[in-house]
Structure 1
Amino acid sequence: MQNRHKTIVVIGTGGTIAGTAASAADHTGYTAAQINVAQLLAAVPTLSGQPLEVLQLAQVDSKDMDFGVWRALALAVDQAVARPEVAGVVITHGTDTLEETAWFLQAVLAPAKPVVLTAAMRPSTALSADGPQNLADAVAVAAWPQARGVVAVLAGRVHGAADVRKAHTYRVDAFDSGDAGPVALVEEGRLRILRPWPQGPATGVQSLLALEPTAWPWVEIVTSGAGAQARAVQALVRAGVRGLVVAGTGNGTIHSALESALTEAQGQGVTVWRASRCGMGPVLGDHPRGWPSAGSFTPAKARVALMLELMRA
């Protein structure tokens, strides 16, 4: 059963779902973030008459997502879920950085109501645009009383914030949840639950949203591979980086030259975490240098998690 009499707040941030192209046959040569979220909702007839409240918070291609938008988005979501008449929140977003935004919001807010990110792989002008159905499914999930926390809804699948990742460059079913699998499926506007709904506490940095984004810790990703060198790490340390996530080969293994540079960086106060450049699987086992594993997080998501960890320090 859905909370059809309670308000769903729909927040627009841009992305492909709001993009346009000169031709309906063009799925890649479009310009993102061109139409507003009210127009997106108007294109979904099944949402007509539902109690929706619209906020256009940003209009960006998500490859250009920045911490200023994240901060404003987190504050807007926090205010929305605090209102008793609001059942949940839907956020329209670009696909490129959706997984990072999802984890950021979950880690900072751990909302007690559903916060649902949705997106599209094809622009709004495409002959077979995927945005309208994704948006309708997202509203259905946001109205489900048992849902809580941050999830992503795309191609009929509900993904938890900790697990969701973009796994394909152009397919409409580009997202998956790694080994965990999706939380649920959306079928004809109803949810079929596949595994326990993910829960997770906030990291305790919500109060730090008062900080200007320029004060947030600087964390970068370096990648290990054949012929890896120390110079990139050394340059980042000289420039003042606070944390480094190394996208290692296989089970988080690191080229010896890069490992030496990371050891020097650690000695200068830089925090080092290990992730894998593989698309699936966690990083298992301890490292002799004591560098923590990022678990099943993608390097991009691990970068966000490390930034938040440094904000707690």
Structure 2
Amino acid sequence: MITGEGQFHVTPPRRSTSADVAREAGVSRATVSYVLNDRPGQVIPEATRRRVLEAAERLEYRPHASAKALAAGHSDVVLLSIPDLPIGPSISRFVEELAGALAGQGLTLVTHLMGAHGRPLPDVCAAVAASAVIGFDSFDESTLQALRRMGVRVVLPDEADHFPAMPPLGRMQAGHLLARGHRSIGYLMPAQPGFRSMAEERLRGVREECHEAGVEPPLVLVGELDISALTPLVSQWRERGVTGVCAFNDEHAIALLAAVREAGLSVPKDLAVVGADDIPMARFAAPALSTVYFDLQEAGRHRAEAVVASLSGTPVSSTVPSTSLRLRQRSST
């Protein structure tokens, strides 16, 4: 359509409604609602049900989110709040696995990147009509209270998510090196502030393992993902007698492998390296990287179950199979 000013004005196509489906199928809107929302306690003849479903398909009818939420008692949107940190392969894989696990429960995952200048989390929840929020870490009290006032379920990591029946990730790294005969351990801490909380948790496990083994605490050095910045760290570890290094994650471990080569040394003869997360490239590193494997599919399924339980008001088992966390030994150690 052309307006009087010579400009084009495009009229958006009209969206089909439940009333259209009812007319097409020759039934009431209530019957359409019963069929499409699969309401319990309603006996609908199979022929009628089939007419409604076929009419909805012909008209390409999709229920509004608000209508579906009203019928179910909550929306199907789950918001994942990702902290302000670089999105590496492990986080990307976790998001994929979580989205798939939630989809299997009839829920839709929406991600929100928390940044210094982003919208407050309660505002984002209101905008997408989220029924539940998943956090990587605890939210501040004011945010929690705002979410609860909105009726949003908050699913956060709890003690069970730290796998109490298994050693924490850092302990597995250090334990592997100690079992291989290393008595002086180093730890490569990431320079990015966004990684600091996770890195400190992993470092704590390394320290605990060293303490229980009766060896000195790990020599912690902070390094960028840059060979020229990491090469001097290799020299410092060597000068202090360190023979094995636990890296914060696989990306830092692979960069460290390159820095060891740059220094004219070899892995694991001069310096053994163990990573964390078992990213796809870990097996192709030179040499292939020993690393701690974390079953992200199991983690996504477990978190999806927690969301479903929270929305239904029922408890969820926090038991996580011991196979969710294990060490993959390769040539770097």
> TM-score normalized by structure 1?
0.29
> TM-score normalized by structure 2?
0.27
Q: Which has the higher strand share?
A: 1
- Is the radius of gyration larger for structure 1 or structure 2? 2
Q: Which has the higher helix share?
A: 2
